[in-house]
């Protein structure tokens, strides 16, 4: 069977935010993710928790679909999802940019493109071991769409690439990318003493956050 690699992409940041992050989650499509997803969904039912497609920022702040849930229930949802992530056969990489250091949209697009190209060349044997590379992204940010297309098509054979518009509601791995953006952004804020009261309510101290979330997540770094 031809080997296929999925690259699930999510971003964090807006025109008004201090930081912009891009997360890439890599999944060999022959590796089983159905089992950890099924176990996660079963654990939600057993614990009486709603199966809401993970969107980390609203979860932390109690907005949107999480508005009716207490902080404790939202933390339990986050913990259950993170446990599922730990059992998934995936790798990831994130890129973070301070807006004031990058400049405008064109400069940001160029930086993202350069960083993805460098990643592919650094791990070229890994990427070239796949016959097909499928990139999943919802197209939410034009800078990300252009950077990913340019970088992947430059560094890999165009014939090996399939692009798919995708919604995080449809794909658990896009929700994983969302989570990883939040974790890496939270680490930046803790390091620079810019963490919010919400960060501390959800994750606790910087040491606790690193011990229970960041260090565990980074075991899956590509």
Residue 80 CA to residue 109 CA, distance in Å, equals: 34
> Can you read off the two tokens belonging to residue 65?
């679909």
Confidence class of residue 194 from pLDDT cuts 50, 70 and 90?
very high
138 vs 71, more confident:
71
For 129-159, what is each residue's pLDDT tens digit?
A: 999 999 998 877 778 888 888 898 888 877 7
Q: What is the 3-state secondary structure (H, E, C) of the chain?
A: CCCEEEEEEEEECCCCCCEEEEEEEEEECCCCCHHHHHHHHHHHHHHCCCCCCCCHHHHHHCCHHHCCCCHHHHHHHHHHHHHHHHCCCEEEEEEEEEHHHHCCHHHHHHHHHHHHHHHHHHCHHHHHCCCEEEEEECCCCHHHHHHHHHHHHHHCCHHHEEEEECCCCCCHHHHHHHHHHHHHHHHHHHHCCCCCHHHHHHHCCHHHHHHHHHHHHHHHEC
Least confident of 11-20, 69-78, 178-187: 11-20
Query: Which residue from 124, 81, 111 is spatially nearest to 222, judged by alpha carbons?
Result: 124
Q: What are the chain's domains?
A: 4-36+88-220 (3.30.420)
Torsion of CA 43, 46, 48, 49, to 10 degrees: 10
pTM: 0.93
Average pLDDT for 188-206: 97
pLDDT at 2: 67
Specify the pLDDT at position 181. Answer: 96
Close Cβ partners of 59 (under 8 Å, ≥ 6 residues apart): 52, 66, 74, 77, 78
Cβ(78)–Cβ(202) below 8 Å? yes
Looking at the chain, the whole-number percentage of residues with pLDDT higher than 90 is: 74
CA 24 – CA 165 distance, rounded (Å): 15
Give me the pLDDT at residue 196, please. Answer: 96
Angle of helix 172-191 relative to helix 71-86, nearest 10 degrees, comes to 110
Instruction: Give the integer Cα–Cα distance in Å for 167 and 72.
Output: 27
Does 168 have pLDDT greater than 80? no
Note the pLDDT tens digit of each residue in 81-90.
999 999 999 9
pLDDT in tens, 10-47: 998 765 688 999 999 999 999 999 999 999 999 999 99
Most distant CA atoms of the chain, gap in Å? 50
Q: Is residue 1 over pLDDT 70?
A: no
* Distance, C-alpha 2 to centroid of its chain: 26
């Amino acid at each position: 069977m031809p080997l296929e690699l999925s690259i699930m992409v999510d971003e964090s940041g807006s025109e008004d935010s201090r930081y912009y992050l891009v997360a890439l989650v890599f999944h060999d499509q022959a590796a089983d993710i159905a089992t950890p997803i099924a176990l996660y969904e079963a654990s939600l039912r057993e614990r009486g928790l709603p199966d809401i497609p993970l969107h980390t920022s609203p979860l932390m702040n109690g907005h949107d679909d999480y508005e009716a849930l207490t902080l404790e229930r939202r933390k339990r949802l986050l913990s259950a999802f993170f446990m599922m992530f730990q059992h998934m056969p995936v790798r990831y990489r994130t890129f973070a940019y301070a807006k004031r250091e990058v400049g405008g949209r064109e400069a940001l697009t160029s930086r993202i493109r350069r960083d993805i190209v460098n990643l592919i060349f650094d791990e070229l044997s890994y990427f070239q071991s796949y016959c097909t590379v499928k990139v999943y992204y919802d197209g939410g940010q034009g800078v990300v769409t252009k950077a990913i297309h340019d970088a992947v098509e430059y560094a890999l054979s165009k014939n090996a690439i399939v692009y798919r518009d995708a919604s995080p509601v449809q794909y658990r791995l896009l929700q994983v990318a969302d989570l990883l953006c939040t974790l890496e952004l939270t680490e930046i804020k803790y390091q620079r003493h810019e963490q919010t009261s919400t960060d501390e309510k959800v994750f606790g101290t910087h040491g606790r956050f690193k011990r229970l979330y960041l260090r565990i997540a980074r075991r899956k770094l590509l």
